Amino acid sequence: MKHKKRKIGVFTIFLAVGVVVVAAALMLRGVFRSFPSADEVLEGYMSCILEKDYDRMYQYLDDTSRRIISREDFISRNQNIYEGIGTTGLQVTISGAESEENEVAYSVSMETEAGTVTFNNHARFTKEKDGYYLQWDDSLIFPDLLSTDRVRVEELKAQRGTIYDRNGLVLAGQGTVSSVGLIPGKMSEEPSEDIRRLAGLLDTTEEGIQEALQQSWVKEDTFVPVRKIKKSGVENALLGEAGAPGSQLEQELLAIPGVMITDTEDRVYPLGEKAGLLVGYVQAVTAEDLEANPDKGYTSQSRIGKAGLEKLYEDRLHGTDGCRIYIEDQNGEEKENLAYREKQDGEDITVTIDYQLQNDLYDAFAQDKSCHVAMNPKTGEVLALVSTPSYDSSSFVLGMSENQWNALNDNPDQPMYNRFKASFAPGSSFKPVIAAIGLSTGKLDPDADLGKSGTSWQKDDSWGSYMVTTMHEYPEPSNLKNALIYSDNIYFAKAALQIGGDVLAEQFDRIGFQEEVPFVFGTTPSQYVNEGGSLSDDILLADTGYGQGEVLVNPIHMAAVYSAFVNGGSMIRPVLEYPETGAPEYWIRDAFTAEAAETVRSSLIQVIESENGTGHGARVEGVVLAAKTGTAEIKDSKEDTGGTELGWLAVFTADPARENGLLLVSMAEDVKDRGGSNYLIGQEKELLAAWTK
């Protein structure tokens, strides 16, 4: 048998300009007397794949092939396979010779969802008067593909990384939830009342349940999922709410004919609302997410971190799904593997948070609007970040009803508001900052008596009726230590005036005011004046001295400032992951002088130890603690006699040599008529005893 020698050709098919296309008109029978060669016909046929022009592909088939497969079946078969495997690139190399039987050998390299598929193949042609036509069968798609075979695409789901606390306890990870559904064949003959009861128990709609039952794939014995509920030990709290015990809820659900409860896997958040604003949640990706992350392996079925740690660490937690493409025969047996892309699970992340401390702090203030930052002042490891009230992250994952969403958004206590990221008026908890600045700059003598002024004072008559007031008179000298023990507003108003507005502004800027804390959570910057303002006004300057005026401080920033009192004047950098070096990092070295830090530290110990100290109620036997309380007035104007109050408590283990110390900064809203800052002491007394010994 003789063969005509052929020049080997290579062509690459793209969707862009330059696609090698043989126009369909060339294939219309009888139009031209000269016609393309067999390999050019093959090029034209293959070019249709990426253009998804399966109708034009059919025109390349010979008469025999057209009698075997209809246009509709041909289009369906090719479209389902090529689009199903996600064909995005195609290179065809003509590698053989045209024989008397009109056969062309070629090789294919095809880009798919599972990677590159390559194979060698051959195409046979029928030569008719007006040109070459393909003798088509399924092997032209893949060499070993039969008409009875199926091409399967198996998605290999990557596991999202788990978030662990410092002790290896799960804060967010894969776990078991309950799926509540219906088996149609076991439902009542008149199920409308049962559906109404089920909708009520699951806080969903009757219409939604009906739509689920009417899906095309549903059969009499099919389990039709209706809603997932949280599974937690002996309880199944509905969607994260404190509901009936699991046994009772299950009994009510299972009493409805056709209801079935099965276990399934999903993202779980063991601490629930106690870490909601810390850990955050994941949700299904949106079109905007896909557009913003085009090359990160997301699909329409992916989930993405939307808040908290889930969002902050998304790039590391998010895995990349794998994919496998294979041929399955008519018996359901795998016949040939075509392509495989290995999945890449997300990274597990261990944070410095202590699960139990996070739990205990939330429980202590669950009924309040509050925030709390617990930190090791020597290492910067953040041990707890609490904001109350909060939400249960599981609600977003398992599905939130309209009622639940409205309840969250309409709640006046704002459970979606992350208070530990915000800034608030610090009140007297700010006085140690003023003291440290005054001592470091030499503007304040700790032993100097700034004079007795009773419980109200003003600089001079230029202040009109405005007076600085304080709660207590005391017999001891009005020096720094006593002013901190008794929380003397008048002393610190005088101290601020003595230091001066320019010096204070310069030092505030040095210790991180007007900028975000260098921390994984973005925070509202602390401020000492409103935008565009200054400390040139004496009344504003005096009020700044005791944490009023226009001062707003973020609690994480406050914790970093207080850390300087056990670090020789340097402010630790807060961290949520252990530093790679293992050594603590300082945010601002020498924020205060070592002498100033020591003077403030020793004075704050007396706030606890002295019976007259405002923090004496927080004293723990056998532990040296230092603290400062604070009550900030929130009112519309200086003349406002109403308004509300914020309570603060900043307390820390005062031994500079202690490596496992605790620094806790807490703020609670609406403490007026509840004891002011003493309310926080009462709530934290037992917790401090347990966590500082």
Q: Which residues are catalytic?
A: 428
3-state SS, 624-669, equals: CEEEEEEEEEECCCCCCCCCEEEEEEEEEECCCCCCCCCEEEEEEC
CB 284 within 8 A of CB 273: no
Pairing between strand 89-94 and 663-668? unpaired
Beta bridge partners of 666: 372, 649
Strands 349-350 and 163-164: parallel
CB 438 within 8 A of CB 495: yes
Upper half-sphere CA count for residue 154 (Cβ side, 13 Å): 15
Beta bridge partners of 116: 111
Q: Across the strands, what pairs with 394?
A: none
**Contact assessment for residue 231 and residue 253, using Cβ atoms and an 8 Å cutoff:** no
Distances (CA, A) of 195 to 243, 404, 574: 20, 20, 52
| Structure token digits, residue 571 | 């402010």
User: Sheet containing 382-388: which strands, arranged edge to edge?
Assistant: 382-388, 370-375, 663-668, 644-653, 625-634
* C-alpha span between 340 and 152 (Å, rounded): 12
- C-alpha 119/C-alpha 106 separation (Å) is 9
**Residue found under tokens 């794939």:** 217
Q: What is the dihedral of CA 133, 136, 140, 146, to 10 degrees?
A: -170
Cα(241)–Cα(444) distance, integer angstroms:
54
- DSSP strands (E only) in 579-622: 586-588
Task: Give the SS3 label for residue 290.
Answer: helix
Phi, psi values for residue 618, rounded to 5°? -95, 5
The conformation of residue 98, written as its DSSP 8-state character, comes to B
Which residue type, as a one-letter code, is found at position 247?
A: S
Closest alpha carbon to 200 in 209, 213, 212, 190: 209
Q: What residue has token string 């939330």?
A: 362
* CA dist., res. 387 & res. 416, Å (int): 9
CB 289 within 8 A of CB 298: yes
Q: Which amino acid is at 197?
A: R
**Nearest of 428, 565, 546 to residue 495 by alpha carbon:** 546
Q: Are 421 and 523 in contact (CB under 8 A)?
A: yes
